[in-house]
Structure 1
Amino acid sequence: MDKKYQKLLLSIGLDLVGLIPIPFIDVVWAPLSAFILTRMYAGAKGKIAGLISFIEEIIPFSDVIPTFTMLWIYTNYIEKTGDEVSKFQSFKDSK
């Protein structure tokens, strides 16, 4: 299996862990999920997602947002599409 899709499966699994409705687990999971996100996705996007994940997991009943999976989609599709658009714009402007 491609490494990209292994990361997707891991992201889905980690999002499912975040759905466990036990308050004590949220207290432990919030900083752990933030740490894991910063390690899975380097740079500013990992740090920002880690902060969002921490806040989302620590606030009761708000842990339904699939932060890991959303960041995977952003990294693999949205960010790459933006790069292609900016390359096209640079090419267009150079003419």
Structure 2
Amino acid sequence: MAKEKDLKYRNLFLGLLFDGIGMLSFMIPGIGEFSDVIWAPLAGWLMTRMYKGKIGQAAGVVTFVEELVPGLDIIPTFTIMWIYTYLISKDKN
């Protein structure tokens, strides 16, 4: 049980960190959107590593698209996935 709780809070911390990194492109006009081209595939891959199975793969695709499309960086996809996984989903991890 302790290991599951550690994973839960590790994923929350990493999710908040990754959402923050994704939002950094708003801080650097011009260069910010270029950085999304690098961050989008990395963020999608990180999401699939954090959340296994088909739900993690789907979240990885959503994260990739959200980070790639200009203006959508404000959506905290990692945090939303954490809320879904640990607070909403019937299959509690």
- Tell me which residue corresponds to 2:21: 17
Which of the residues 2, 6, 10 maps onto 1:6?
A: 10
Q: What is the TM-score when the length of structure 1 is the normalising length?
A: 0.80
Structure with higher Rg: it is: 1
Correspondences of 1:32-71 after superposition (within 5 Å): 32-71=42-81
RMSD over aligned CA atoms reads: 1.7
- 5+ residue gaps, structure 1, are 85-95
- 5+ residue gaps, structure 2, are 26-31
| Paired amino acid for 2:40 | A
Structure 1 residue runs of 4+, over 2 Å off? none
Aligned-residue sequence identity (percent) comes to: 45
